[in-house]
C-alpha cells in the first residue's frame, strides 16, 4: 500500500479539525464520536490516532479554530470604519438571527459550546481555550469603542457579550416557538438602543 504524502497527511488533519469544530458545535463534545468525526472528514476511524492522541486534544484544537474564525468574522465588521453604534448594530444583526439559531454547527463557539465546556473538568485543556476565546471576542467588542476603556466601558462590553450569548442560547433552546424570534428581536433592538444612549 503506498504511503500517504506529507501534504495529504496535512490536508487530512485539517479536514478532521474542520469537521470536528462543526460537529462539536452542532452536537456537543459527548454527542460526537471519533467515528462520526472521521466519517464527516471522509476518512476511516483508524487514522484518527495518527493525528491526535485523544478526542480531548482534538476538542481543544477545534475550539481554538472555531474561536479564531469567530474573532476574524467579528473583526471584519470593523473594516468599514463604522462608528460604535453602527458596529454594535452590525454585530447584533450578524449574531442574533434565525440562521445562527438554527445552525449551531456554523455559529459562534461562545454559544454553541458553552454548556459542554461548563461540564468539562477544569483540568481539560478546552476550558482554558474556551475562556481565552471568550476574552478575545470581548476584546473585539471593546475595540468598537473609540473612547478610553474605563470601568464603565468594561461593564458595557461585558453586558453586550452576555446579551449576545444569552439571547442566542435562549432563542435556540425554544426554537420552533414564536418566543425564539421575539428573544432575538428584543436583544437586537436593546443592543442598538443602549449603544445609541452610550450604555
Whole-angstrom distance, CA of residue 31 vs CA of residue 175: 19
Q: What is the pLDDT of residue 108?
A: 92
Its domain, for residue 156, covers 56-197
pLDDT tens, residue order, the chain (199 aa) = 456 678 888 888 888 888 888 888 888 888 888 888 888 888 887 778 788 888 888 889 989 999 999 999 999 988 767 889 999 999 999 999 999 999 888 889 999 999 999 998 889 899 999 999 999 999 999 999 887 788 999 999 999 999 999 999 999 999 999 999 999 999 999 999 999 887 5
For residues 62 and 163, what is the distance between their CA atoms, to the nearest angstrom?
25
Q: Is residue 49 part of a domain?
A: no
Look at the chain and report how many structural domains it folds into.
Answer: 1
pTM listed for this prediction? 0.86
Amino acid 179: pLDDT: 97
Residue 4 lies in a domain: no
Q: Nearest CA to 69 among 15, 125, 99, 107?
A: 107
User: CA nearest 163: which of 190, 142, 181, 131?
Assistant: 190
Asked if 47 contacts 8 with a C-beta cutoff of 8 angstroms, the reply is no
Nearest residue to 56 via CA among 124, 152, 10: 124
Amino acid at each position: 500500500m503506498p504511503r500517504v504524502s506529507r501534504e495529504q497527511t496535512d490536508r487530512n488533519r485539517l479536514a478532521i479539525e474542520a469537521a470536528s469544530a462543526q460537529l462539536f458545535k452542532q452536537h456537543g463534545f459527548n454527542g460526537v464520536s471519533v467515528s462520526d468525526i472521521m466519517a464527516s472528514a471522509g476518512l476511516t476511524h483508524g487514522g484518527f490516532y495518527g493525528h491526535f492522541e485523544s478526542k480531548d486534544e482534538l476538542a481543544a484544537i477545534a475550539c481554538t479554530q472555531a474561536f479564531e474564525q469567530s474573532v476574524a468574522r467579528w473583526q471584519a465588521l470593523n473594516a468599514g470604519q463604522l462608528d460604535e453604534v453602527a458596529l454594535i448594530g452590525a454585530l447584533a444583526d450578524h449574531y442574533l438571527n434565525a440562521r445562527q439559531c438554527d445552525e449551531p454547527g456554523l455559529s459562534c463557539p461562545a454559544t454553541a459550546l458553552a454548556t459542554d465546556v461548563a461540564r468539562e473538568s477544569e483540568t481539560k485543556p478546552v476550558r482554558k481555550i474556551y475562556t481565552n476565546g471568550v476574552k478575545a471576542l470581548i476584546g473585539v467588542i471593546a475595540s468598537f469603542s473609540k473612547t478610553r476603556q474605563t470601568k464603565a466601558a468594561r461593564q458595557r462590553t461585558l453586558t453586550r457579550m452576555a446579551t449576545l450569548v444569552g439571547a442566542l442560547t435562549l432563542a435556540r433552546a425554544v426554537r420552533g416557538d414564536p418566543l425564539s424570534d421575539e428573544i432575538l428581536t428584543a436583544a437586537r433592538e436593546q443592543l442598538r438602543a443602549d449603544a445609541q444612549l452610550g450604555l
